[in-house]
Amino acid sequence: MYVAYRSKDARKSAAWYESHGFKRAPYPRARPFDKKEGESPFDPNPPKGSIYLEAAPSSFGVLLVPDRRAKPPSAGVSAVGALRLFARDRAERIQDPDGNMVEFFS
C-alpha cells in the first residue's frame, strides 16, 4: 500500500523523505509484471518521473508523482490529513516540501 502525492519537484521531495529515513524501492505491484503483456489496466505503471519510497522494506510507502499541470488547483481540503507512521525513536509532526503532513509517533 502507498499514498500518492503530487509533487512540484519529485527529486527534491524524495531527498526530503530520504533525510527522514525513507528509502527508494521498486514500485510495488499487486500482480506479477509481464514484459510481453505490458501494463495491466488493473495494475498500471506509475506516471513517468514518479519516485517510490518506503519507510521500511515491504511496508507502507509514498509515491511522488510529478505535478505537470499548468495551473495548480486552488487550495482546498487535503484528502489525506497526515501520513502517520510508527517510529520507535521520535514523535513529531512535520511538513514535506509540497505541504503534505507526515506524523511520526511512538
Domain count, the chain: 1
Q: Which residues of 20-55 are buried (b: 16+ CB within 10 A; e: fewer)?
A: bebeebeeeeeeeeeeeeeeeeeeeebeeebbbbbb
Q: What is the pLDDT of residue 45?
A: 83
* CATH number of the CATH domain containing 101: 3.10.180.10
Three-class SS of residue 15?
helix
Does 10 have pLDDT greater than 70? yes
Q: What is the pLDDT of residue 49?
A: 94
Three-class SS of residue 37?
coil
Structural domain span for residue 91: 2-30+48-68+81-105
**Helix (H) or strand (E) run with residue 17 in it:** helix 10-19
Domain membership of residue 75 (yes or no) is no
Where does the pLDDT of residue 106 fall: very low under 50, low under 70, confident under 90, or very high at 90 and above? confident
Domain membership of residue 20 (yes or no) is yes
Three-class SS of residue 11?
helix
Report pLDDT digits (tens) over 34-93.
677 667 777 788 899 999 999 888 888 899 999 887 666 555 445 556 777 777 777 888
Q: What is the pLDDT of residue 72?
A: 61
Domain membership of residue 94 (yes or no) is yes
Domain membership of residue 100 (yes or no) is yes
Domain membership of residue 25 (yes or no) is yes
